[in-house]
Amino acid sequence: MKIAINGMGRIGRLLFRRLIEEPGIELVAINDIMPRENLLYLLKYDSVYGTSPLDMLALNETLVINAKPIELLSEPDALKLPWKSLGVDLVIECSGVYTKKEKAALHLEAGAKHVLLSTTGDTDVPLLIHGYNHDEWRPEDKIVSPGGCMTNSSTPVLDILESAIGIESVQLNFLHSYTSRQQLVDAPHHDFRRGRAAAESIIPVEIDQAATLERLIPSLKGKIAAVSTRVPVANGAMADISVVLKNKISREQIHAIFEEEANAKYKGVLAVNHEQLVSLDFKGNTHSCVVDATLTSIVGNHLKLIVWFDNEYGFTSRMIDWVRTIGGMNALA
């Protein structure tokens, strides 16, 4: 299966590292408009995941990784990308530019057979979450959105609670590491809070997560509110999920339900933790969500769950599941 990555930001570069060593995958091209020397530097050195052990050699417009050639492209216009001549089966769209269906379709016009976004995308793109509704995908769906890290961390949890017990209402607070859309020092920004120094404050950020979750789980329409709180760490996230349930249930019963689902429908996607861990302990964790059983609390019908996830590694794990699905390989292997 021949793959190209368009956009080499945090997700694109991590996918690059991981797909190079993925069986049955041939990474044939990467495209980004940043200076080539800078791209090569960032592919090798990473402040979160460390220095890459890959043997890299740049030869003109080709990057040789462990003796495998990869085209190095710097083309801002998707229509001009050489997907047809390279025989690209799947473009992983990580630039953040082509989130609408008509824009993502430019990769198809350029010769790619399928496009996988690295974000939720617009409502005209099928939103399919691995483990939840990925089995609705059909090969004729040429463009797919796998959601985002917060969607993948919360959808399994809410699906399980709604199916097993019933939800009256839910409030979600995603305590999330700072991102490139924030500022290192105070600076002008249309969202004043995003313009404040990311490593110096806990910064609330408005998100449209409620609408995304209602789209996925229609029975929760009008019952969800969500906010993201950016905290001064470079990686890792924690979802604080506060739920009013339709029926009373014990902590033991809640944990038993999640343990069962972690070994069934959501195997490889959801896990349950019973140790006293912190965010750093989940760096490199491949699950979309890890329910922390040590922090579960219930007052009457009011449940609070703490769910950990590596916002980059967990999410790219689900994207790799999509690569396997689209390529006809076994996902969650």
Residues labelled catalytic: 149
CA-closest candidate to residue 241, choices 301, 173, 169: 173
User: Bridge partners of 69?
Assistant: 64
Secondary structure element (H or E) that encloses residue 63, with its range? strand 62-65
User: Bridge partners of 241?
Assistant: 172, 305
CA-closest candidate to residue 61, choices 82, 88, 84, 89: 82
| Dihedral of the alpha carbons of 137, 139, 141, 142, in degrees to the nearest 10 | 130
Q: What is the CA radius of gyration of the chain?
A: 20
Contact call for residues 169 and 243 (beta carbons, < 8 A): yes
Which tokens hold the place of 256?
């038993």
Distance CA 154, CA 315 (A): 12
Q: How many CB atoms lie within 10 A of CB 264?
A: 9
CA-closest candidate to residue 121, choices 109, 140, 141: 141
Which tokens hold the place of 251?
């902590």
116 backbone dihedrals φ, ψ, rounded to 5°: -115, 115
Q: Decide: helix, strand or coil at residue 305.
A: strand
| Angle between helix 149-164 and 313-326 (nearest 10) | 80
Contact call for residues 85 and 320 (beta carbons, < 8 A): no
